[in-house]
Structure 1
Amino acid sequence: MLTIKHSYGADLDWIESFAASFGGKIEGNFIKVPEEINTGFRYFIDCGDDFVIYYIDVVYKTEIHFIQSHTKSDFICLYYNLTEGKAVKAFNDFSFNMGRFGYDLALIDSTLETDFYVAPDARSFGICIFVKKSKLNTFAQNNVLFAQNVEKVMNPEKNTFIKFDRMSPESFHLLSDLRKLEVGSAVFNLNLVAAAYSLGANYMNQVFNNTITTEKVNKDDLSSIIAVQAYLHENVDGFFPSIKTMADKAFMSESKFKALFKKITGTTPHSYFMDSKLRKAKELLEEKKYTISETCDELKFTNYSYFIFKFRKHFGISPNTFIKKL
């Protein structure tokens, strides 16, 4: 396994050393990497004003362990990741899938060190957006709607930027359309910058609009919360566990657990559990493994009517109509 320790930044100070860590080089805005490591494109644009975009669309030829240990703590990283194949994010002794079939959106503070593993034949595609925190501070200060939240969000003693999520269908289609363009062309550059600003602005609206809880987070806390998420996934066919049960598993007080869970996932434990249960129900119906009634019983919904109501509310379609469209 090839191990690459590197850093990013909201400037281009990291580019040369990043390319060298692969045994590669910089050609224009391309990061050229030996083909025995990966094929495809690594491309960057410095938009100025403390905003850098890193575009990647590669197929890995060897197993790589990336250690992201940033030399600067003055920026945030926003990752839109549609990797297909084995791509694993790790914190301490816990790991989870990233990419199209796992978490495909992450907001990570540059103060956190993370590990990322990719396997041979994994196709990594996505956009990384790096923005200086001072830029965010100016953005919020100039917006009357967000000004009241600036101090608690931007204070490093009170807040760590961290969230793992699923991107919206709109974001997915935006990236898919970008992939159809010739990398490095004027049209591509224009669309890449426009897409990055759109994606970044939408997410920053959440940061300063009280939808992301402000709280300090360390690696132990983060891996504990993600371990509880895995526990909820594994028990999606059961009943919702108590907050106390989950807090005990995370070795936290109930109040700290609820606050950190909301911060990292963007939702409450119960909403997260119900979302996972409904996604599983949809999968079972797609596989035509069970009838609607059997799916309801298999996943232990309260009753049939409740299942129909929640499914329709979540997916905008009834289970019966969904099955007919298969």
Structure 2
Amino acid sequence: MRKLTHYYSLTPEWQLNVAEQLNTKIIDNKLIVIPSHVGDGFFYFSQIMEGISVVYADLVAKEPLKIIRQKSDNELFIFHFDLSEHVNLIKINNVDYEIGSFNQLDLAILDNQIESAFKPAVNERTIALRLLIDKKLLHDFILKFSTSENYFAKSKSNKKAFYHYGNIDSNSILLIQSIKTKSVYDLSFDSFLKGISLKILGNFFNKFYEPKNKNLKLTDVEGQALEKTKNYLANNLYGPFPSLTFLSGMAGMSESKYKSLFKKHFNDTPKNFFIDEKIKLAQKLLKSGEYTTLTAVMYELNYTKLSYFCTKYFEVLKRKPTDDFIKKNAIKKVT
């Protein structure tokens, strides 16, 4: 396994260690292109404003890679947003955590006083954005976390140091996805990345400090994401129910948030909505006169047990399938 060791600072000098270990150069104090024998992709660093910097990684590792961030005297918090469509590993306080958008746990917040290591999956595209933030800008941040929801470890000064592991909000997922469409060599990339980073940070703190009001309205982005998954379900009734993991990933939400918002918005669960629509389609097929047996309709809709199909049919329509079934050979030609 190849190991890269570095520390973080709000200014560009931390990149020197990484470039030397990769035997490559830093372009414009911002860009480190990964050598082809190690992988494809890059690390990009930019100072957004005083007290806030960003590191954006877009890479495919060709060999096992362990990127070790050493703790340092720099008073920082590190917000790690991982939008990889697979599972990576991040080690915090000697514990390996799975992280990535399809794993639904895709946000880690680290105190720079705790060492961490990041292990991207081999031969998979890894997308990660890290915001480096001066602690002076976040003086009341830790105080608002309850110890039951977060974690603390001993730092090198024997003081408690904070880390957190959770979910990216759906708006920020869409923002990070927009970065993927931009070329790092585009002249506008730097300003685009800075703007997106500030929006992501704003989203996080808006959500973090907002009151826990269950009656908050859906955002436009959340509403559009829910409609997208609802339409997907309605257009794929001949197959099995896609998993909540798949649907929530499509919506850019955690499974629990997706299920809760879907129920709130449509007054039904995704699974029940899918079953209801499938049974309504079954009724149309039964009445079509195109099938010779009930089992033919059942198999058409990806059911495997007739008793289960009949039970669901009655639950939804309060009728038996036989009440609506018109056999194909029962339609006589009028002469």
Same fold flag (TM > 0.5): yes
Shift of 1:16: 1.1
Aligned match of 1:167: 168
Q: 1:153 Cα shift?
A: 6.5
Of 273, 277, 285, the residue aligned with 1:321 is: 273
User: How far apart are the structure 2 equivalents of 1:128 and 1:57?
Assistant: 12
Aligned length: 224
Which residue type is aligned with residue 321 of structure 1? F
Rate the CA distance shift 1:105–1:314 in 2: closer, same or farther, 3 A.
farther
The amino acid of 1:126's aligned partner reads A
Using the TM superposition, give the Cα deviation of residue 92 of structure 1 relative to its aligned residue in structure 2, in angstroms. 5.5
Secondary structure of 1:190's match?
A: helix
Deviation at 1:208, TM superposition (A): 6.2
Matched, 1:111 2:132: no
Residues in 2 aligned to 1:129 and 1:79: alpha-carbon distance in whole angstroms:
7
Cα distance change on mapping 1:111 and 1:31 into 2, 3 Å: same
Map of 1:227-246 to 2, 5 A cutoff?
A: none
Q: Secondary structure at the match of 2:96?
A: strand
In 2, Cα distance between the equivalents of 1:166 and 1:309? 15
Q: How far does residue 180 in structure 1 lie from its aligned partner after superposition?
A: 1.0
Change (3 A) 1:170 1:323: farther
Cα separation, partners in 2 of 1:189 and 1:316, compared to 1, 3 Å? farther
Q: From the superposition, tell whether residues 97 and 152 of structure 1 become closer, same or farther in structure 2 (CA, over 3 Å).
A: closer
Match of 1:63 in 2: 64
Q: 1:133 aligns with which of 122, 132, 135?
A: 135
Residue-by-residue CA offset, 1:52-85 (whole Å, 9 max, x unaligned): 1111111111101222113234011011111234
Paired residue secondary structure (1:111): coil
Unaligned runs of 5+ in 1: 138-148, 212-281, 289-307
> Which amino acid in the other structure matches residue 80 of structure 2?
Y
**2:177 partner amino acid:** S
The CA deviation at 1:323 is 4.3
Q: Which residue of 1 aligns with 2:200?
A: 199
SS of equivalent to 1:197: helix
Which residue matches 2:253?
A: none
- Counterpart AA for 2:99: M
Q: Which residue pairs with 1:36 in the alignment?
A: 37
Task: Spell out, residue by residue over 1:165-204, the C-alpha distance to the aligned partner (whole angstroms, 9 max, x if none).
Answer: 1212211111111211221423322221111111113334
8 Å CA contact retained: 1:42, 1:57 = yes
The change in CA–CA distance for 1:134 and 1:312 in structure 2 (over 3 A counts) is same
Closer/same/farther in 2, CA of residues 54 and 310 from structure 1, 3 Å limit = closer
- Whether 1:23 aligns to 2:23 is yes
Aligned-partner SS, 1:186:
coil
What is aligned with 1:99? Answer: 100
Q: Which residue of 282, 286, 309 corresponds with 2:242?
A: 286
The alpha-carbon distance between structure 1 residues 317 and 35, as it changes in their structure 2 partners (threshold 3 A), is farther
CA contact (8 A) 2:82 2:101 kept: yes
C-alpha deviation, 1:206, in angstroms: 5.6
Contact map agreement 2:5 2:17 (CA 8 A) in 1:
no
- The whole-number CA distance in structure 2 between the counterparts of 1:78 and 1:151 is 13
Task: Show the counterpart of 1:47.
Answer: 48
- Give the aligned residue type for 1:76: F
Corresponding letter in the other structure for 1:320? N
Query: Which aligned segments of 4 or more residues in structure 1 are displaced greater than 6 angstroms?
Result: 156-159, 208-211, 308-311
Question: What is the match of residue 8 of structure 1?
Answer: 8
> What secondary structure sits across from 1:13 in the alignment?
helix
Are 2:126 and 1:124 aligned? yes
Tell me the secondary structure at the aligned position of residue 119 of structure 1.
coil
Indicate the percent of aligned positions where both proteins have the same amino acid. 22
Give 1:204-215 correspondences, 5 Å limit: 204-205=205-206
Evaluate the alpha carbon distance shift between residue 208 and residue 133 of structure 1 in structure 2; reply closer, same or farther with a 3 A threshold.
farther
| Partner in structure 2 of residue 185 of structure 1 | 186
Displacement, 1:210?
A: 9.1
SS in 2 for 1:286: coil
Q: Is the 1:153–1:159 contact (alpha carbons within 8 Å) kept by the matching residues of 2? A: no
Partner of 1:80: 81
Q: Would the aligned equivalents of 2:57 and 2:128 in 1 still touch at CA under 8 Å?
A: yes
Query: Normalization by structure 2: what TM-score?
Result: 0.57
Q: 1:111 to 1:314 in 2, by over 3 A?
A: farther
**Distance change in 2, residues 1:197/1:316 (3 Å):** farther
Equivalent residues of 2:4, 2:68 under 8 A apart: yes
In 2: Cα distance, 1:19 partner to 1:52 partner: 18
Counterpart for residue 150 of structure 2: none
How far apart in 2 are the matches of 1:171 and 1:201? 9
RMSD after superposition: 3.5
1:26 Cα deviation after fit: 0.2
Distance in 2 (CA, whole Å) between partners of 1:92 and 1:61 is 27
Partners of 2:135 and 2:143 lie apart in 1 by: 13
